[in-house]
Amino acid sequence: MNIYKVGGAVRDRLLGRPVTEVDYVVVGATPDDMLSQGFRPVGADFPVFLHPATGEEYALARTERKSGRGYGGFTFYASPDVTLEQDLIRRDLTINAMAEDDDGRIIDPYGGQRDLDSRLLRHVSDAFAEDPLRVLRAARFAARYADLGFRVADETQALMRQLAESGELRDLTPERAWKEISRALLEPRPEVFIQVLHDCGALAELLPDVERLLVSSDGGHTLEALRHCARSEQPLAVRWACLLLGLASAPSATDADASADSGACAGLVAIARLNESAKPPRDCQELALLTGEFHGVAVRALALSAEQLLGVLQRFDVYRRPERFEHFIAVCEMDARAHDSRRADAFTQAAYLRSAAQAVRSVQPRPLIEAGYQGAALGEAINQARLATLAEHRAAWPHPS
């Protein structure tokens, strides 16, 4: 039995980056050998085991053969006679197909170190084109290492286009595709992920509405907003909402009430359609829809009446979910910075909206209850108190002439 570190741990050590997760491949062993040493089996698809003390993953060396469509259409073969080189050749990129033994010696049969030096993301073999998920993975690594100068090799880009044209990307389950999309959006350069998918034709298959946006006049702005999201370390929901914001291209409503009634506009329908097909978490879906609906209103926040502003705040449920409204403001800020990257405070309405939310949250029902209000009368009294507070807040805030 021989055990090697493989994949990301080797790659990132050679790049001088922090190693956060270590995976191992075991050559010359059987499942019984692993069990006898206390390893715990994981799943049934292929033999992966958890170390009894560290919980790290140890996988038996294996080969794979294409047996159907999609990323799951493979038959795996694990046996003590599978060599390390045979295990490594089934991997996606050469920089992920290196191993390291206990003495720190690098085993690199497919030129991973050469491609690290050349800053290239290159496929290991033509079997790359058999797995549609590898298109997303290659684009995700491009987003991770773009600031180090990495790019997708031309021949790998050609295989990615071949996969996009094959239709196999449609065989990816929304859950599996979202796992890669969400991880890519959280990389240091998420806009590179979108651009790489566009360049190989995969974006049109995976996120067709985003593809139409990217080739429109707003495409460059969307990519720049994503870049600002990464620079300011925004959470996933903000990044997803920024990606979809440009789809809300219907004319802005004249007031908050009209905006709330505009759910049937083409832009919001497109956002809802992408939410349904990509299946992101609920917080991502809700923020994207609310941002598409109210972004134009937020831009003209200082012109809103107290009634209109309260309607917006209530739609975001700032009493029970203040973080969602804060995320909305963050999307507006990222969008404004994409228009004027020289100004960190490009969205000047942010402070006004934040203080308005704080003002309505400061209204407490207890004094009204003690004054004798109850039931519907209490609800109306609270609403009037919030309106009065917002009116005072609005009057005290400096307004542009």
Query: Does 219 score more than 80 pLDDT?
Result: yes
**Sequence-ordered alpha helix ranges (H) in 235-365:** 236-245, 256-260, 266-278, 282-299, 306-315, 322-339, 350-361
Query: What is the predicted pLDDT for the residue at 254?
Result: 39
Query: What is the predicted pLDDT for the residue at 218?
Result: 82
Q: Using the CB atoms, write b or e for 116-130: b if 16+ within 10 Å.
A: beeebbbbbeebbbb
- 292: tokens are 């598409």
**What is the SS3 assignment for 2?**
strand
Sign of CA dihedral 266, 271, 275, 278: positive
Query: What is the predicted pLDDT for the residue at 78?
Result: 85
19-24 — which CB contacts under 8 Å span 24+ positions?
A: 22/56, 23/56, 23/57, 23/59, 24/56, 24/57, 24/58, 24/59
Angle between helix axes 322-339 and 219-231 (nearest 10 degrees) is 120
Mean per-residue pLDDT, 301-319: 95
Instruction: For residues 187 and 16, give the distance between their C-alpha atoms in angstroms, rounded to a whole number.
Output: 18
pLDDT in tens, 336-392: 999 887 666 778 899 999 999 999 999 999 999 988 989 999 999 999 999 999 999
Mean per-residue pLDDT, 322-346: 89
Query: Does 68 score more than 60 pLDDT?
Result: no
Contact 142, 152 (CB under 8 A): yes
Query: Does 400 score more than 80 pLDDT?
Result: no
- Output the CATH code of domain 119-206: 1.10.110.30
- Write down the domain spans for the chain: 1-109, 119-206
Which burial class, exposed, middle or buried, applies to 201 when counting CB atoms under 10 A from its CB (0-12, 13-18, 19+)?
middle
pLDDT > 70: percent of the chain: 92
pLDDT range class, residue 303, cuts 50, 70, 90:
very high
pLDDT range class, residue 100, cuts 50, 70, 90:
very high
Mean per-residue pLDDT, 218-246: 96
Residue 324 has a CB neighbour count (10 Å cut-off) of 16
pLDDT range class, residue 248, cuts 50, 70, 90:
confident
> Quick one: CATH architecture of 1-109?
2-Layer Sandwich (3.30)
For every residue of 4-70, DSSP letters joined together read EEETHHHHHHHHT------EEEEES--HHHHHHTT-EEE-SSS-EEE-TTT--EEEE-EEEEE-SSS
**Sequence-ordered alpha helix ranges (H) in 167-207:** 174-185, 190-200, 202-206
Query: What is the predicted pLDDT for the residue at 344?
Result: 64
Instruction: For residues 40 and 323, give the distance between their C-alpha atoms in angstroms, rounded to a whole number.
Output: 40
Query: Does 2 score more than 60 pLDDT?
Result: yes
DSSP summary character for residue 3: E
**What is the SS3 assignment for 320?**
coil
265 versus 151: the higher-pLDDT residue is 151
248 versus 224: the higher-pLDDT residue is 224
Q: Which of 68-77, 140-149, 205-214 has the lowest mean pLDDT?
A: 68-77
pLDDT range class, residue 47, cuts 50, 70, 90:
confident
What residues does 50 pair with on adjacent strands?
40, 57
Question: What are the C-alpha distances in Å from 150 to residues 12, 132, 160, 184?
Answer: 14, 21, 17, 15
Instruction: For residues 245 and 264, give the distance between their C-alpha atoms in angstroms, rounded to a whole number.
Output: 16
